[in-house]
Amino acid sequence: MKLILTRHGETEENKKGILQGWLPGHLSFEGRKQAHLLAKQLSSVKIDYIYTSDLARCAETAKAIAKYHPKSKFVKDKLLRERALGEFQGKKTGKADWEALSGTLLTNKPKNGESFEEVWKRMKEFYRKITKKHIDDAVLVVGHGGSICLLQGLVYGKNLSESMKLEKLKNTAISEFEIDKKGKYKIVCLNCEKHLYE
């Protein structure tokens, strides 16, 4: 399987330091430009399936790419959502807000939100699904900083704690892997942003 991972374009909330979680998010002018440049970069790349988080900031980015791939199957999947942040969504939070939560970095969660352990469970389900279903296909995944970081950890065979330490993808950056039937992977590129500067 060829697996291409990318993150949505910059949002107005990203610019303001507002936590989005399961909020839709609104691509900024720069974010829409990034999505257009990403789409052009991928226009000549074979893509059989486009999977995207159903949240608007990802879906809008994915639709820009899909314009160049009318024969690709387009799938919105809630499993790819960012971590639900409950009472913190739509707000700016500080270190003290997070330290006030009970549990560890992996188990704590804001009221009505999710823990990283819960997000990890979702991402494992998604990764099992695509590796089983699409091992011979070219798959593009459009997600969020957190969800894509954990998905990348699954490609590497890392656990949750190790995956949390990986560098997050920048907005519309690309990481690409070739994955065989045994789950062995080859890195084609990591966090590549050249399309934004050419």
Contacts of residue 151, Cβ cutoff 8 Å, sequence gap at least 6: 5, 123, 126, 127, 141, 143
CA 65/CA 95 separation, integer angstroms? 36
Residue type, 118: E
Euclidean distance between CA atoms 108 and 103, whole angstroms = 5
Q: How far apart are CA 17 and CA 164, in angstroms?
A: 20
Distance from C-alpha of 13 to C-alpha of 53, rounded to nearest angstrom = 17
Neighbour-count burial of 102, counting CB atoms closer than 10 A to its CB (0-12 exposed, 13-18 middle, 19+ buried):
exposed
Percentages helix, strand, coil for the chain, rounded to the nearest 5?
40, 20, 40
Along the 198 residues of the chain, how does pLDDT read in single tens digits?
Answer: 999 999 999 999 999 999 999 999 999 999 999 999 999 999 999 999 999 999 999 999 999 999 999 999 999 999 999 999 999 999 999 989 999 999 999 999 999 999 999 999 999 999 999 999 999 999 999 999 999 999 999 999 999 999 999 999 999 999 999 999 999 999 999 999 999 997
Containing domain of residue 127, as a range? 2-196
Torsion 169-149-66-139 (CA) sign: positive
Q: For residue 139, give the CATH number of its domain.
A: 3.40.50.1240
Domain count, the chain: 1
For the stretch 169-173, contacts whose Cβ atoms lie closer than 8 Å and that sit 24 or more positions apart, written own/partner, are 169/5, 169/6, 169/7, 169/145, 170/7, 171/7, 171/8, 171/9, 171/10, 171/14, 171/31, 171/34, 172/6, 172/7, 172/8, 172/9, 172/34, 172/35, 172/37, 172/38, 172/61, 172/196, 173/6, 173/7
